[in-house]
Copies of this chain bind each other. A is one copy, B any other.
């Protein structure tokens, strides 16, 4: 367990004694698909370290629509911000692919942040990269059409320096992917059909293939303020 917690990027800069305390206090648990980890506005005692699987962070509007804030892969933490937000979780968290999660007291993280500027600087750095990613998502909502936004999502899944033909495996199912991109399933289907037509990509179940990235880049990246390759944005999805 020690290794997997010590290698979480957002905790980089933590002291040895911080990791020792975390390891002594954290509880590892397996969660099945569909399991709620916590609910928006629950009182927060713990934060969560995801070491395998996928977790969806979401909120619900008053009229019942679900809004997805993020879908996290392994290597991310969640539920840590109540330290700064009055002790309540600002979103709900649900496991979307069977997950291994360490549950650890927020008090240990808070104490370390209050005494170790290496950790707080590292966390600031992560948040700012995350903010850039959100800036770009907001920009794309305005300047890109739906097929371009799907193209952009695909480009952020690949090694962007790849030459020649490329195979991408979609990380989760298309309904969830549509929701992550803020699209209705039928809008997503139409947009994906248009993207195939415009760029020649081939989609087979969860696999997407193309002869090179060039078509996708020229189709999506003209309507973006970041230049391709935009690897700086890819790890903050």
Q: Which residues of A contact B (CB under 8 A)?
A: 40, 59-63, 65, 67, 69, 81, 84-85, 90-91, 113-117, 120-121, 123-125, 127-132, 134-135, 137-139, 141-143, 182-183, 221-225, 227
Contacts and interface: CB of A to CB of B under 8 A. Distances in A.
Contacts of A90: 132, 135
A114 B121 CA distance: 7
A63 B120 contact: no
B127 A131 contact: yes
Contacts of A115: 117
- In terms of DSSP, what is the predominant structure of the interface of chain A? helix
Contacts of A221: 62
A137 B138 contact: yes
B65 A138 contact: no
Nearest to A134: B134
Given A113-B121, A182-B141, A130 B131 contact: yes
Contacts of A67: 138-139, 142-143, 225
A23 to B, nearest CB: 23
A138 B182 contact: yes
A59 B85 CA distance: 30
A219 to B, nearest CB: 12
Nearest to A70: B135
A128 B127 CA distance: 8
A29 to B, nearest CB: 26
Nearest to A80: B128
A184 to B, nearest CB: 9
Nearest to A182: B142
A227 B62 contact: yes
Nearest to A114: B117
Given A114-B117, A120-B120, A127-B127, 16 more contacts: A59-B225, A61-B143, A61-B224, A62-B223, A62-B225, A67-B225, A69-B135, A84-B129, A91-B135, A113-B117, A113-B121, A117-B120, A124-B127, A134-B135, A138-B141, A141-B182
13 contacts: A40-B225, A67-B139, A69-B139, A84-B128, A85-B129, A90-B135, A113-B120, A120-B124, A124-B127, A127-B127, A127-B128, A134-B135, A141-B142
